[in-house]
Amino acid sequence: MDTRSALVVYSVSLERKENAAAHHTSEFQTQKLVLRRGQIFKVKVVLNRPLQPQDELKLIFSTGERLSHLVELDPMTSFRSKGWQVKITKQSGVEVTLAVISAADAMVGMYCLKVNEFKGGIFFLLFNPWCADDSVFMPSEEERAEYILNDTGYIYMGFAKQIKEKPWTFGQFEKNILKCCFFLLAHLEPSELQNPVIVSRAICTMMCAVNGGVLVGNWSGDYSNGTAPYVWTSSVPILQQHYLTKMPVCFGQCWVFSGILTTALRAVGIPARSVTNFESAHDTGKNLIVDIYLDESGKTMTHLTKDSVWNFHVWTDAWMKRHDLPQGHDGWQVLDATPQEISEGGFRTGPSPLSAIRLGKVEIKYDTKFVFTEVNGDKFIWLVKQNQGKEKNVLIAVETASIGRNISTKMVGENKRQDITSQYKFPEGSPEERKAMEKAAGKHPDEDKPSRRPVNSMLQIHVLQNSVELGYPITLTLVLKRKTATPQNVNISCSLDLQTYTGSQKTDLGIIHRTVQIQGQESEVVLSMDASSYIYKLGMVHDEVVIKGFIIAEIMETGDKVATDTTLSFLYPAFSVEVSCLQATYMTLLFLYPASSDEVSCLKARKGAELRAFVVPWLTDHCANCIPSFFHTALVCSSSRLPFLHSQQMPDTGKVNSPLFITCSFKNTLPIPLTDIRFSVESLALSNMQSWNQEKVSPGQSITFQMKCTPVRSGPKKFIVKFTSREVKEVHAEKIILITK
């Protein structure tokens, strides 16, 4: 052949801007093109001469650790290979535009393109929820926007009666996040990278440092060699640090593991949501019963109590088809990166189908029995009596509806909590729920099993309160119900501890003993303990703690006993955070507890652009669609301070490279000093987090300071302002600010 007529490729363009927009990947902070499989993308080739019918124009796509897996296409001859396709869509002189479609089950990862001998560039290929033939296809556009494209959200914490939300920045599009994800998948075979079941399980495994992955779990309360888990509000610094250092990041607990796992799954194209299970059981006996043993004063006997109930536990749901299972198990799958149980040699859980969990099909892989026990089960409370030096266990309470409550995730398209309990289980006490329990336990309805009837039909007890204002006495109002109105004397023993959310006891607060005479069928008894019992112990551990109480009541005339437990959270005192924009108007966020129903109604009426996406540290059902009852905002302008009910336009815009000022004012109203104080502001608009620290604030002391933040990226961006100290933790404020260029 005449060399003057040989076909030579001069340039190859992957048309990054156009392709990224079509593939919903424009937000990725990488110079490389990011594509989704099973979808057309354009390639523009410039040649030394017009293309002739006899020419060869070979496109070679290679991937894998050694770039050994090849797909070869030629629009002139073989336009289809391994599910990939190519065709010429436009030819103008020496310029040729090609349309390429990758296979809907193509391997995800980094690809290199060569056109003939010309190196055409590198791109990433992801799973594609927009492609009907992809195993992660999600038909709802609103759900794709939430579970793939939304880079901020909430993780729910607290306990079943007092749910709070923690703002979380997933940041799946941020610099090096995608690279980190595929680095963590480097051990998989190329063919395994086709399957979202294998990929999601591998990512779940690699979130945990025990498996050689990202994050070190720590529940000890000592975080001196790293970051305390409650300090994290974003997946981004964790995954970025691991990618840059290739070293484990210290430290995390369940919500942090869920946060980084949700980020990683969304980054590679698998729809994901962080999910919180309240009253989450860890049944070591695998018998679907949580056994709690108390002594006669109500103290937990730790040497007998091997099961545990966490106030909450957070994992991640991922959306995919399960071609490896019988029909009926597509859709949401549980994945849990928190190192709890070993599955096939590594600390990981899932993917486990919600459909199998709901029906009690615990044999369905992966790890469905373990997840089933977390959201189901009965709690048995045993009284251990001493009789002539021997212990006798007496069953005094059975709770059939206390495990797996208010299972929660962020609502699609809204900053609200969605209760998804019905996706995990049938209504408590329903025939379907009992049938699922029996199937999971491997029993038939007529088999013997422990009695699930109330042990004592003469007396019932429950506690009205679910919180205590920090610095004030602990007050418990017990409601005692009987079937008789005959006066009776009741001995009450109430044991109170400070515990972490996992039920780990940190310190004993004491025992309250009362003997009262009750009359009528319903009576109230008030128990109290002075604030000094807990206030000086709050700094003992570097975790947020709650008050856990076990109450035993005994009718003296009959010897009948009943027991219950309760959890009390702390409500924090008032703080204010002012945010000013270009020395114009600013807002003040006041953390006041509680707000009245009139104030809640006012907030509902005023919610909109100027009250959009504020922090909601404590959620209650009656105002979940607005700022909650434990949060009160006041609007302020630079020239005058206006009452809350007055109208004032909130600044909600900023500019790239123009400063925003965060002014924080704080007064310590507690009788103890607060130590290790830290205010921080974090946003995807900023290049890094800004913070301000002070070692100590004495009782009654006030502090005011200002932090300057300069946005570097445009768009509507969430700003999260956070206050922490060793004694008072988990206080947030947030606002969406539109940053323009």
Please say whether the beta carbons of 69 and 62 come within 8 A: yes
Number of domains in the chain: 4
For the cut 70, the answer to whether the pLDDT of residue 531 exceeds it is yes
For residues 354 and 361, what is the distance between their CA atoms, to the nearest angstrom?
Answer: 10
Neighbour tally for 50: CB within 10 Å = 13
562 and 581 both lie in a single domain = no
Please report whether residue 453 resides in a domain.
no
Please report whether residue 305 resides in a domain.
yes
pLDDT, one tens digit per residue, over 169-220 is 999 999 999 999 999 999 999 899 999 999 999 999 999 999 999 999 999 8
346 and 469 both lie in a single domain = no
pLDDT, one tens digit per residue, over 25-40 is 999 999 999 999 999 9
416 and 501 both lie in a single domain = no
586 and 507 both lie in a single domain = no
For residues 424 and 419, what is the distance between their CA atoms, to the nearest angstrom?
Answer: 11
Q: What local confidence, expressed as pLDDT, does residue 634 receive?
A: 28
Q: Which two tokens stand for residue 406?
A: 């208010």
Please report whether residue 452 resides in a domain.
no
- End residue of a domain, out of 94, 126, 158: 126
522 and 541 both lie in a single domain = yes
385 and 409 both lie in a single domain = yes
69 and 19 both lie in a single domain = yes
pLDDT, one tens digit per residue, over 377-429 is 788 888 888 877 788 888 888 887 889 999 999 999 999 999 999 999 999 88
Q: Is 220 left (phi over 0), alpha (psi -120 to 50) or beta?
A: alpha
163 and 310 both lie in a single domain = yes
Question: Global pTM?
Answer: 0.87
- End residue of a domain, out of 412, 441, 470: 441
- Which range of residues forms the domain containing residue 250? 141-441
Q: How many helices (H) and strands (E) does the chain have?
A: 11, 43
Q: What local confidence, expressed as pLDDT, does residue 70 receive?
A: 85
pLDDT band of residue 86 (cuts 50, 70, 90) is: very high
543 and 615 both lie in a single domain = no
Q: 428: annotated binding-site residue?
A: yes
Q: Which amino acid is at 69?
A: H
Q: What local confidence, expressed as pLDDT, does residue 540 receive?
A: 76
Q: For residue 622, give every residue at least 6 positions away whose Cβ sits within 8 Å of its Cβ, in sequence order, or none.
A: 597, 600, 629
Please report whether residue 133 resides in a domain.
no
Q: How far is CA 414 from CA 608, 609, 614, 625, in A?
A: 12, 13, 12, 9
Q: Which amino acid is at 298?
A: G
Residue 136: alpha-carbon gap to chain centroid: 21
Please say whether the beta carbons of 714 and 741 come within 8 A: yes
- End residue of a domain, out of 396, 411, 441: 441
Please say whether the beta carbons of 59 and 86 come within 8 A: yes
Q: What local confidence, expressed as pLDDT, does residue 610 receive?
A: 29
314 and 170 both lie in a single domain = yes
For residues 324 and 321, what is the distance between their CA atoms, to the nearest angstrom?
Answer: 9
Please report whether residue 76 resides in a domain.
yes
Q: Which two tokens stand for residue 684?
A: 């995807």
Please report whether residue 451 resides in a domain.
no
Please report whether residue 132 resides in a domain.
no
For residues 395 and 381, what is the distance between their CA atoms, to the nearest angstrom?
Answer: 6
Q: 146: annotated binding-site residue?
A: no
Q: Which two tokens stand for residue 733?
A: 């404020």
Please say whether the beta carbons of 212 and 218 come within 8 A: no
510 and 567 both lie in a single domain = yes
Residue 380 has phi, psi (to 5 degrees) of -105, 125
What burial letters (b/e) apply to 623-637, b meaning 16+ CB within 10 Å?
Answer: bbebbbbbbbbbbbe
Question: 13: domain CATH number?
Answer: 2.60.40.10
What is the dihedral sign for C-alpha 673, 676, 681, 682? Answer: negative
Q: Give the chain's mean pLDDT.
A: 84
Q: 378: annotated binding-site residue?
A: yes
385 and 268 both lie in a single domain = yes
pLDDT, one tens digit per residue, over 208-256 is 999 999 999 999 888 989 999 999 999 999 999 999 999 999 999 999 9
For residues 728 and 599, what is the distance between their CA atoms, to the nearest angstrom?
Answer: 25
pLDDT, one tens digit per residue, over 548-566 is 999 999 899 888 888 888 9
pLDDT, one tens digit per residue, over 9-30 is 999 999 999 999 999 999 999 9
Q: 176: annotated binding-site residue?
A: no
Residue 246 has phi, psi (to 5 degrees) of 60, 25
Q: What local confidence, expressed as pLDDT, does residue 543 receive?
A: 84
Q: What local confidence, expressed as pLDDT, does residue 587 receive?
A: 38
For residues 225 and 250, what is the distance between their CA atoms, to the nearest angstrom?
Answer: 7
Please say whether the beta carbons of 474 and 529 come within 8 A: yes
What residues are labeled active site?
254, 313, 336
Question: 203: domain CATH number?
Answer: 3.90.260.10
Closest to 731 measured CA to CA, from 156, 163, 166, 157: 166
Please report whether residue 131 resides in a domain.
no
